[in-house]
């Protein structure tokens, strides 16, 4: 038997940056994101004689596979708690990321969300959405949100209470504006620790994130696109500010990213409403109303690396695929 699952990346409107617990991957504050409808990761898990991980057709070793095998250990622990005879089984994991890794998509979010769904099925666990999100969180914090359809709030809390759940929000478009390729200088994981331990603005980042999350939840529930966009942009800017104040300084945005933010501001002055956000890398995403998406993409395409600004919409959370669907 093989279990197959698919999951998509998500882009946060209220960002996750900093952990209260490194091992359990508990965030210092909650976050809120939109799950995308493209750039899937599709993952097959089959019980086998030894653990094995293949990504995009290449057998993985070292740190990359160790992180996947450590995740399988968590799944086996859950199987053991339930006295399942799969608890001692190894597994072959085969994963394909369809997204251009260079587009700055969080492949760890879609990757661990798909793995949580496929592995829990293959090991015979019958997890509800909450426990799937908690499990995905242990692979990568942002993966907890990719389990959820459309828009997700990931709660800070304890191992029990830190999971993502769906929140109502108006339809909107997320326009990908890729400006750079290449590995990022500092991983999110390392950057979060550096920020927490050396940035003097970190305490204010935590309290202001808690406040802005409440504002964002209210704006989503009210269907207030303008407030959603304004606070998403300001929160992303604050994240890059708190990161930049680390010692030594860390900077994920480059001059091409700043040009995109400038163009987004100019669009607003021209009466085309869009807002910008960026994660731990130089690529920018623009948020717009669905009816403005094509106009925004057309304005931003010339600023991209390859001339294409792709329009994405709210997508499905991680889900199993039946035979033949993959
Ligand atoms: C986010 N990022 O909310 C933020 C914004 C990057 C910038 O979640 O250490 O890969 O595996 O929990 O989930 C990236 O963090 O980090 C991230 P780990 P993860 O989308």
* Full set of structural domains in the chain with CATH: 2-169 (3.30.230.10), 173-312 (3.30.70.890)
Taking residue 281's Cβ as centre, other Cβ atoms within 10 Å add up to 23
Q: Distances in Å between the alpha carbon of 250 and those of 198, 238, 253?
A: 11, 14, 9
pLDDT tens sequence across 168-194: 999 999 999 999 876 667 999 999 999
- Say how many Å lie between the CA of residue 1 and the centre of ligand 1: 33
Q: Is the pLDDT of residue 100 over 90?
A: no
Counting from 1 in the atom list of ligand 1, the atom nearest the Cα of 27 is: 12
Token couple for 63:
């740190």
Nearest Cα residue to atom 14 of ligand 1:
188
Separation between Cα atoms, residue 238 and residue 204, nearest integer Å? 10
Nearest Cα residue to atom 11 of ligand 1:
140
Which H or E element spans position 23? none
Q: Which residue matches tokens 């914090």? A: 141
Q: Distances in Å between the alpha carbon of 15 and those of 46, 78, 80, 290?
A: 34, 29, 35, 22
Token couple for 212:
């802005």
Nearest Cα residue to atom 12 of ligand 1:
141
- Say how many Å lie between the CA of residue 12 and the centre of ligand 1: 9
Counting from 1 in the atom list of ligand 1, the atom nearest the Cα of 139 is: 11
- Say how many Å lie between the CA of residue 322 and the centre of ligand 1: 30
CA dihedral 229, 234, 238, 241 (to 10 degrees): 110
Q: Is the pLDDT of residue 102 over 50?
A: no
pLDDT tens sequence across 3-25: 999 999 999 999 999 999 999 99
Is 144 a pocket residue for ligand 1 (Cβ < 6 Å)? no
Is 25 a pocket residue for ligand 1 (Cβ < 6 Å)? yes
- Say how many Å lie between the CA of residue 281 and the centre of ligand 1: 11
Is 280 a pocket residue for ligand 1 (Cβ < 6 Å)? yes
Helix, strand, or coil (residue 274): strand
Record the pTM. 0.96
Counting from 1 in the atom list of ligand 1, the atom nearest the Cα of 142 is: 13
Residue 106: pLDDT band with limits 50, 70, 90:
low
């Amino acid at each position: 038997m093989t279990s197959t699952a698919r999951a998509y990346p998500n882009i946060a409107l209220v960002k996750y940056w900093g952990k209260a617990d490194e091992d359990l991957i508990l965030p210092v504050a909650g976050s809120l994101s939109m799950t995308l409808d493209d750039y899937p990761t599709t993952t097959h898990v089959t019980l086998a004689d030894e653990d094995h991980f293949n990504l995009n057709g290449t057998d993985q070793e070292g740190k990359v596979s160790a992180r996947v095998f450590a995740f399988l250990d968590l799944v086996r622990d859950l199987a053991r708690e339930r006295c399942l005879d799969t608890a001692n089984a190894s597994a072959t994991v085969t994963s394909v990321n369809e997204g251009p890794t260079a587009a700055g998509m969080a492949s760890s979010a879609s990757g661990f969300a798909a793995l949580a769904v496929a592995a829990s099925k293959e090991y015979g666990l019958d997890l509800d959405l909450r426990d799937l999100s908690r499990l995905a969180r242990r692979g990568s914090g942002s993966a907890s949100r990719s389990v959820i359809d459309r828009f997700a709030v990931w709660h800070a809390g304890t191992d029990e209470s830190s999971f993502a759940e769906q929140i109502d929000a108006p339809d909107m478009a997320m326009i990908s504006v890729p400006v750079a390729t290449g590995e990022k200088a500092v991983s999110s994981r390392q950057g979060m620790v550096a920020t927490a331990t050396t940035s003097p603005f970190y305490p204010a980042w935590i309290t202001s994130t808690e406040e802005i999350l409440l504002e964002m939840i209210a704006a989503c529930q009210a269907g207030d696109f303008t407030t959603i966009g304004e606070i998403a942009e300001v929160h992303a800017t604050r994240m890059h500010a708190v990161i930049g104040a680390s010692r030594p300084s860390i900077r994920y945005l480059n001059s091409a990213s700043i040009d995109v933010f400038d163009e987004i501001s100019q669009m607003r002055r021209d009466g085309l409403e869009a807002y910008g956000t960026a994660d731990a890398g130089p690529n920018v995403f623009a948020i717009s109303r669905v009816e403005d998406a094509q106009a925004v993409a057309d304005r931003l395409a010339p600023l991209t690396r390859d001339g294409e600004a792709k329009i994405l919409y709210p997508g499905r959370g991680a889900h199993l695929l039946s035979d033949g669907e993959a």
